[in-house]
Amino acid sequence: MREISYSEAIRESMSQMMREDEDIYILGEDIGVYGGAFGVTSGMIDEFGPERVRITPISEAAISGCAVGSAMTGMRPILEIQFSDFVVIAMDNIVNQAAKMRYMFGGKAKVPMVVRLPSGSGAGFAAQHSQSLEAWMTHIPGLKVVQPSNAYDAKGLLAAAIKDDNPVMFYEHKMLYNVKSEVPEELYEIPLGVADIKREGKDVTIIATGLMVNKALEAAENLEAEGIDVEVIDPRTLVPLDEKTILESVKKTGRVLVVYEAVKRNGFGSEIVSLIAESDAFDYLDAPILRLGGAEAPIPYNPELEKAAIPQVHDIYQKCLELLNR
């Protein structure tokens, strides 16, 4: 199978879906000739034209309002927020409008829109352009939240998100855009709410999200040399969450490490810990559940400090050893 990058997979998914359905269009800042801040939409305006690749003013409030309104009247917009941090300017339209409409109109109104959100640190964009804020959106009933960790998942999950009749927040880690993996040429969907076991093991379960999935897999390879068999679970979608897969893995290994890039306090990993603590899987634990998250500080501009602010492979490695020593 051919290999393409994470950004190419996202572009291919959008393009293939747009060829099938004329109601799908994309909108955002500089997404035309420039191809967006990270080049994800490069070339799409040449195929679909300015009516379906809508270049907008620099106003996240205006862009999100347009997306919500057009979604309610039958279109399927894909909105690109240039950096996920800027979603704060669109919060009223997303949180108080898009997320609530279907409920408030008794199911007679739908808001089928996707909000693409380049997120995370590692690219040297500093405190206002590098945050991981996905946990905010998981707190809002009516929103679905997706966080793919590789190109294959990104293509399939995005296709499913575009077809969904609810607003979907689609988090794309900036450091994954150039990472390649095997991806089929044909269009396919990965259902929302289905986790993936990226690596099977019997000694420790690592539940990781986004870029941390890749770091967890690398740490697991290093631990294998020590005779430690690590299972790595990627939820892929945070809302809806595949609780069954997570709990079955916990029962199998008896030791759990939850890894996420966002600030450790109140990050989505805390919800996973609560899920386990409130289930019968808790009785299978042989050690306390550990969390590994980002530092309680804005993301620094300095490259070495930026690395220190979020979990790295060696941190995951050490936490797994700590779990086993308990």
CA distance 180 to 191: 22
Q: How far is CA 245 from the centre of its chain?
A: 18
What digits encode the pLDDT tens for the residues 222-267?
999 999 999 999 999 999 999 999 999 999 999 999 999 999 999 9
What digits encode the pLDDT tens for the residues 48-105?
999 999 999 999 999 999 999 999 999 999 999 999 999 999 999 999 999 999 999 9
Percent of the chain at pLDDT > 90 equals 99
CA distance 166 to 282: 33
Whether the pLDDT of residue 283 is over 90: the answer is: yes
Residue 5 pLDDT: 98
Query: Please, are residues 231 and 201 in contact by the beta-carbon 8 Å criterion?
Result: yes
What digits encode the pLDDT tens for the residues 149-179?
999 999 999 999 999 999 999 999 999 999 9
Catalytic annotation, pick one of 129, 139, 173, 314: 129
Residue 27 pLDDT: 98
Residue 119 pLDDT: 98
Residue 1 pLDDT: 84
Using alpha carbons only, give the angle 147, 312, 129 rounded to the nearest 5 degrees.
Answer: 55
Whether the pLDDT of residue 17 is over 80: the answer is: yes
Percent of the chain at pLDDT > 70 equals 100
Residue 326 pLDDT: 73
What digits encode the pLDDT tens for the residues 105-119?
999 999 999 999 999
Residue 124 pLDDT: 95
Residue 314 annotated as catalytic? no
Q: Work out whether strand 256-263 and strand 204-208 pair parallel, antiparallel, or are unpaired.
A: parallel
Tell me the β-bridge partners of 232: 199, 206
